[in-house]
Structure 1
């Protein structure tokens, strides 16, 4: 009989409670301890010790750990776990800045242990289906990737702005579904909610093959929207990640004879298909992947170096917004890897700066 992996959790706040729920029911895993100096405010755990510090958590002989503390605290907790030799899954974003993200990635490389980051949108069924269809050539030549991610400000986010907390989703999604690096960004930000950090950003980008990207991200809208649209020579694919839906709008071959309709409906209009796709909880997929990676299996994890590349893109966005000029991300692509994990990579070489 295979031994259950002993898992720990650092942080029992708004996200930590969901990690606790998944870890408590994940096959092959036993959640044995959680750490949070405030205890368990959401009563997310049952019958396990709740300790105040990472040092106390490490006394429970862990096989791996999940970190769900504020972004500013990610590096301290992650470096402590790396020094202890504990494989770790860290909530996104990996760190508040690129030098710190690099330091965390280097620490896990030096320790020879797996580290991963919870860019949860990669596990959304709508985006997984969109990526598969892009890979299969469903859109022909891809022209544009556009995203909209907006909704009310979440009070739990206090240490970073909309770029690091929200736009990192879209920056990561875009390079992941296309397999192409982001080579240029131009951005503008606003701060209107009374917070120091920005709460609205609009980003225009370019991928290495010339594909145009644009992202609208904010905490200022009462409309909650999570949409990714890929447009190409055969039509467009629209992923609604709130509901896990993927819809294909095909370019049509039938000529429109009604001139007024043609004006409003575009040059061509074909069939519209909403795909029936399995809809599994993205957080469950994220945990399954990391569990399997800890077991030594091929698994679709997001490596620390991949997450560092996303931090680099976010910093380029902030730089462009501050200067008004286009900016090239310092890390434009994931570094080479020595082996693949089901189409993803575990990076074992450090990326060089551009």
Structure 2
């Protein structure tokens, strides 16, 4: 039985705890958080132990750590994991600014610590079936459409971070980075040129809201693939669709429903995945830990740092500057 330690017991930690619970041979053994009551609550729900400090938790020798702290606390936690020799699967984003990200990258290189960054869409079941079927075709465009009710039903009183560019990177840093990363992964290319526009359609700027609530961007990849992304917080609910167009096929992937449908080389195609991407991400990292093989990781730190850089450049264009690039 392999044991996992969760560091940071906020909302996303529950998704990871649920995924871990579904994997035979893996269990959540411990939880640590700067708010002891929060760690205790998740530990009790999961049958785990609540630790008082990261040092105490690492001394229990977990097989790997799932790091769910806010982005500005990545470096000290990763350094502690490296010193203890405990592999780490960290949530996105990889850092809060590029200089810190480069320090983390150097630390990981020097220590050789097995690691991954949690861009879970790289493990999306329906998407991977589609990508396998599209192998050998020439990808032309990727179109992403994302909606949430963060503006129509604002929750900044209880969940302020996404609304504050200075804390989370705002709409682009909190959510959009997932799709910047995914489009790099699908296109197997880097961003050559970008354009972006944003506005506050519903929520005016205030002490509670420093992000735009609608944004659209265009990315030209260095292999010629064109990416368009529309992102709104003024929607009626949560949805994200991805449309891929090649020289022979057109397929739409519903990322939240784990479904795909369209035309593959002239043939009608539908697929419904059954396994959650968080679970597949943990299964993949467990395999990497068991085999001590960094090559099994789909999102190594250096690659994730490039997704962060692109996201930060989008924020620079949107807001006239960003400390994320420091």
Tell me the TM-score normalized by structure 1.
0.77
Question: Per the alignment, do residues 180 and 10 of structure 1 end up closer, same or farther by CA in structure 2, a change over 3 Å counting?
Answer: same
Q: Secondary structure at the match of 2:100?
A: helix
1:232 to 246, 265, 273: 246
The match for 2:8 among 6, 11, 34 is 11
Quickly say closer, same or farther: Cα 1:90–1:316, change in 2 above 3 A: same
Structure whose CA Rg is larger: 1
Task: Return the alpha-carbon distance in structure 2 between the equivalents of residues 142 and 292 of structure 1.
Answer: 31
* Structure-1 residue corresponding to 2:130: 130
How far the C-alpha of 1:76 sits from its partner, in A, is 2.9
Q: Is the 8 A contact 1:13 1:42 kept in 2?
A: no
**Would the alpha carbon gap of residues 217 and 50 (structure 1) be closer, same or farther in structure 2, given more than 3 Å must change?**
same
Q: State the partner residue of 2:86.
A: 86
The aligned residue for residue 25 of structure 2 is: 28
1:258 aligns to what?
Answer: none
Residues 81-106 of structure 1, C-alpha deviations (whole Å, 9 max, x = no match): 22322210001111122222222122
Decide which of 311, 315, 323 is 1:318's aligned counterpart: 315
> Could you list the runs of 4 or more consecutive aligned residues of structure 1 that deviate by over 6 angstroms after TM superposition?
none
* SS in structure 1 of the partner of residue 271 of structure 2: coil
Any stretches of 5+ residues in structure 2 without a counterpart?
A: 162-166
Aligned match for 1:249, one of 237, 240, 263: 263
More helix by share: 2
Q: Deviations over 1:201-223 (max 9, x none)?
A: 21111011222111112323224
Distance in 2 between residues matched to 1:15 and 1:311, nearest whole Å: 19
Describe the SS at the equivalent of 1:209.
Answer: coil
Quote the residue 1:183 is aligned against.
Answer: 192
Match of 1:292 among 287, 307, 310: 287
Which residue in 2 is equivalent to 1:262? none
The alpha-carbon deviation at position 35 of structure 1 amounts to 0.3
Is the aligned partner of 1:165 residue 2:174?
yes
- Contact kept, 8 Å, 2:43 with 2:49, in 1: the verdict is no
Q: Tell me the TM-score normalised to structure 2 length.
A: 0.84
Q: Which runs of 5+ in 1 are unaligned?
A: 252-269, 325-329, 331-354
1:143 and 2:146 matched? no
> Separation in 2 of the partners of 1:83 and 1:55?
10
- Say if 2:300 is the partner of 1:303: yes
1:93-128 residue CA offsets vs partner (Å, 9 max, x unmatched) = 111222222221221211111111110111112221
Tell me by how many angstroms 1:277 deviates. Answer: 4.6
Please give the root-mean-square deviation of Cα atoms over the aligned residues, in Å. Answer: 2.4
Tell me the SS of whatever aligns to 1:220.
coil
Query: Where in structure 2 are the equivalents of 1:207-218 lying within 5 Å?
Result: 207-218=221-232
